Amino acid sequence: MNHTIRQLSQYALQELKDSYSEYEIQWLCKIIYMDVLQFTNIDIHLRKNEILKESFINKFYEIIGLLKSGQPLQYILGTTIFAGQTFKVNSSTLIPRPETEELVYWVNESLTAGKKLLDIGTGSGCIAITLARLCPAAEVTAIDVMSGALETAGINAGLQGVKTRFLQRDILHYELYSWDIYDCIVSNPPYVRECEKADMASRVVDYEPSAALFVPDRDPLLFYRKIAEFGNKYLKKSGELFFEINEAFGQETVELLKHYDYRNIELRKDLYGKDRMLRAQKNDL
């Protein structure tokens, strides 16, 4: 049996080489050591030849086996890091991506004390909770259609000690509910077309919630259109709308927002150079 971090890392490289790159395997191992052993980056380096407890070794083998079967590490551990904070995640929530952090920091530039913000399709709550933490004097509300996601988001808000209001609502049928008037709306809605499934990793397609990922091929901007309509009714004059978007539909999303009379539309690329987020302002007329 392997007994040290160095030996366990070599074991993982051998077992996972058909599913992950070497860099990805090293990252996975680091997260396991930090989450399960509570090691820091420095600990991992300085203690790589230290004999480990059998209980951890057995746990490590179990996690590697689950990774080999295709399960995402975040679901195996039940947590992920977003904007420097730990969030609980499960099969009811998407795993937050680094690109979404960029969107959050962009929104935060516009968020000030007393402003009302609505997060549409909150999932784990990572957007709403992070913004509530960054601007505690703002009034943050988040909605999702899935009760399991809202339960997880509520737990995350409690763990981080932020005040966020969570509501179960379906934005595609927003006319069924009563709403406040908001200064800012942010959403990372489903935007992956069904036809794109074939190019995606099985650990995403098989494990992350389809309802939070996919839209019909025939109507890829479904959620953007409904949220733009919603914003025309429930955004204040000159209020701002922020989206994470499908890189393949940057200009199409811009044109959609122009159609709904939004102005000062800005399309921004993510850290990978892809059209990924958009900001628009409600017409003040």
What's the pLDDT tens digit per position in 135-194? 999 999 999 999 999 999 999 999 999 999 999 999 999 999 999 999 999 999 999 999
Quick one: which of 268, 284, 285 has its CA closest to 183? Answer: 284
| One domain for residues 124 and 250 | yes
| One domain for residues 65 and 189 | no
User: Which positions ≥6 away from 91 have C-beta within 8 Å?
Assistant: 75, 148, 207, 208, 209
**What pLDDT was estimated at residue 1?**
58
**What pLDDT was estimated at residue 258?**
97
Regions of the chain short of the pLDDT cut 50: none
% helix, strand, coil for the chain, step of 5: 45, 20, 35
| One domain for residues 242 and 277 | yes
Q: Which domain holds residue 234?
A: 91-281
pTM reported for the whole predicted model? 0.93
Q: In terms of DSSP bridges, do strands 214-215 and 182-187 run parallel, antiparallel, or are they unpaired?
A: unpaired
The answer as to whether 86 is a domain residue is no
| One domain for residues 207 and 257 | yes
